[in-house]
Every structure is written in C-alpha cells, then in structure tokens.
C-alpha cells in the first residue's frame, strides 16, 4: 500500500460470475418488470458471491428493452467507495456508446434500472450520464432500514431529475428487491459505510463525538 | 460502438502529461495553499492539453502534506461522465491505500483538495470516501458562471459534510482557481453538460420543452 509514486491507472473488472450471468447478446427485456427482475437477480448473486453490497443496476434501450450494460456494487471487492452498481453500469454504457452523453444524438433513449433507490452520489451522477429514465426497485427506506447510509439527497430528488428531463419510476418489484437487502443483512453482509457514519475528531479537534 | 456483448472491464488511464507533471515521490506540500496551487496547476494543464474540463483534485496526507493521489477531469477524453477530478483522485487514493475507506484505521488523516467546489455527484461521493477534510478553490458560482451545471446539492452542503465528520475549507486561492475556469471558457473549452441541461421529450411525450 505504500507505493511512493502516485498511481495513474484504474482498472475496474467485474467479477467472473457476472460474465457468466449475462444473457445471450442482444437479449431484450420488453417489460420494465423483466428488466427489474434481471437486475434484482444480479443483486442477489452479487450478495451470495460476496463480491459486494446487495445492489445491481443495468442500462437498457428504453424502447426495445435490449440490455446495454450491467453493474453490481463492488465496493468491498474492488476496494473502491465509488464502485456502486449505478456508477459501473453508467461507465460501461458510455464505454459501449463511445460518448460521455448517453442522451446524445444517434443513440436510442437509454434507461437506468437500479435494484434500489440511488444514494446521493449516484443520484448526482444520473443527470451527467444522459440516461432518459431511472427505474428503481427497493426504496431509500429499504436501504437505510438495513443500515446503509444514503447520503444527503435533495428533499424531492425525483423532481430534480424530472426537471433535467429524466423520468422516474419507483417501486418496481419493490418487495422482491427489498427481500434481497434483508437477506444480505440477515446473513451478516458488510455494511460498509465509511467509519459507520460517525464523525472523526482527527482533523476536527473541536468536534463533538 | 455496437459491440453486442456487454463489456465488463473499465480502464481509466490518466493522460501522459500528468505522469510527467507529478513531483518526485514523497514530495510534501506543508501549507494548504501549496497543495491548492499544485492542484490549480494541474487544472490549468488539463485545460491546455485538451484532456478534459478545467478541474483537478488531489488527496494529501492532511498532517504532513505528502501527495497521495491526483485526479483531473477526463470526461471528454475518456468519454465518461463519471470521470470528474475528485472521483479519479478518490479512486486512486483508495487503490494506493488498498481499502474503500480512506478514514480507516492505520491510515493518516487524508484530505481532498479540489480546484473547484464539487458537483452534486462528487459531493455525494465524499462521505463514502473516508477523507477527513475537503478544501476547495473556486466556488460553485465560479463554476456555473462559465456554464457548467453543478447539479442539485443540499442547500447547506458544508453542514452535511461536517455532520459526517468532514471538515470543509473554502475559497483557498479562489482568484487563481477561478481564473483557470474563465480562461477555459474564453478559449472555447467544451461545456459538456449532458444535453446542455435541456429536457428530452423522447421518453416523456408529455414534457414541456
């Protein structure tokens, strides 16, 4: 860990099980519930494989339902707090598209399907990504209910997305999505919040503990 | 762009000029203004090299001022809306530390120095990273003043960080930091907001334009 020289390459590899879990090329998921169930299945497998938190996401062609990119939470296995499912899926979709704007001309309307309501970081990432719609399974309450911190979101985050032209659909297969979260917690999965959400006094000697 | 199979590896390489711009190993920047001026210099070089937006960040040992990791905005050159300077610096620092929690035991107190106030995504990422302090140069107004969208931040975002044990220091060398932003805009740098912040009607046929 003590390499003297700052590193300048980051490689994020998805786990081997995920490659095997991918459907045949160009598989389409016409109904939004089909898309969500596929994503919930990835969250369940990620949890069972121990490769990260119980969260998955995918980018689909919102018209045809064709799968474009997948992502699972890889915080613990990649040692990266940035490696949330939505971030991975957006990065892979942009790599596929060859552009930083998934809403750019020449692309079909793309949607991000997430097994759970995004945290503050991922919510902030969504407008920059260019996706046209966000579909969520479990709610923020389901996520915080097992101990994860969702961060400081705008009070009405749905409106913030909608004002930027991103439609929001919530509670799609919520019970199935929430069940994956509960199983993860029951089986002792790592709740990996930095410092468990507690304040540090190391750089704030005056901070209340 | 039309690979049929979803991709499962992401590689983020920093530009070659950045490797050459790094100081000798274990260089320390004892004063916070020294850290900020180093970061502002990277933002200026990133802008001049055309490798991304006029933003840079770095993680330092908050005690000794030793440089741990660097990041510059690579949105346009890596075709990734996630590749903001703060995100890159956090990922590289965590890769150096071998953990997703830069506030974990055994690590010195680490701070993130950003040439400009973070956008909503990067603000959301900071609590998850484990850094103990955020130091900003240019303000959010300086950033939006040249046309970049900062996203939907909490009204008092400083308090949200401080409640999570992250100290915030603003306006460090602000004039120098803001000058880099203005030069970027004057020289016609790309303001890469997705769809220029405009709403799309493709998945919302009822949306007002």
Is B119's CB within 8 Å of A124's CB?
Answer: yes
Cα distance between residue B97 and residue A91, in whole Å: 23
| Alpha-carbon torsion (A170, B83, A120, A198), positive or negative | positive
Give the ipTM of the model, two decimals please: 0.92
Q: Indicate whether B199 pLDDT > 90.
A: no
Whether residue A119 contacts residue A68, with contact meaning beta carbons closer than 8 Å, is answered with no
Contacts of B81 in chain A (CB under 8 A): 90, 94, 100-101, 125, 128-130
Q: Which of B33, B44, B86, B160 is catalytic?
A: B86
pLDDT confidence of residue A202:
37
Kindly report each contact of residues B13-16 with a partner whose C-beta sits within 8 Å and lies 24 or more positions away, as own/partner. Answer: B13/A8, B13/A9, B13/A10, B13/B78, B14/A8, B14/A9, B14/B70, B14/B71, B14/B72, B14/B74, B14/B88, B15/B46, B15/B49, B15/B51, B15/B72, B15/B74, B15/B77
Distance CA A172, CA A116 (A): 10
Average pLDDT, chain A: 90
Give phi and psi for A75, each to the nearest 5.
Answer: -55, -50
Tens of pLDDT, residue by residue over A155-178, are 899 999 999 999 999 999 999 999
User: Could you report the per-residue pLDDT of B60-109, keeping only the tens digit for each?
Assistant: 999 999 999 999 999 999 999 999 999 999 999 999 999 999 999 899 99
Of B87, B152, B162, the CB nearest to A82: B87
């Amino acid at each position: 860990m003590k390499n003297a020289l700052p590193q300048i390459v980051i490689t994020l590899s998805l786990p081997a099980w995920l490659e095997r879990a991918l459907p045949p090329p160009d598989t389409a998921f016409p109904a939004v519930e089909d898309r969500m169930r596929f994503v919930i299945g990835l969250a369940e497998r990620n949890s069972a494989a121990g490769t990260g938190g119980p969260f998955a996401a995918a980018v689909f062609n919102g018209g045809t339902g064709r799968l474009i990119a997948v992502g699972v939470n890889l915080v613990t296995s990649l040692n990266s707090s940035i490696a949330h499912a939505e971030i991975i899926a957006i990065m892979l979709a942009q790599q596929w598209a060859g552009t930083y704007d998934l809403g750019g001309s020449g692309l079909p309307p793309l949607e991000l399907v997430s097994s759970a309501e995004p945290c503050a970081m991922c919510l902030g990432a969504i407008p920059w990504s260019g996706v046209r719609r966000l579909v969520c399974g479990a709610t923020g309450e389901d996520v915080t209910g097992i101990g994860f911190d969702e961060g400081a979101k705008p009070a009405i985050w749905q409106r913030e997305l909608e004002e930027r032209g991103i439609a929001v659909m919530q509670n799609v297969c919520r019970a199935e999505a929430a069940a994956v979260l509960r199983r993860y917690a029951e089986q002792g999965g790592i709740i990996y919040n930095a410092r468990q959400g507690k304040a540090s006094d190391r750089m704030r000697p005056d901070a209340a503990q």
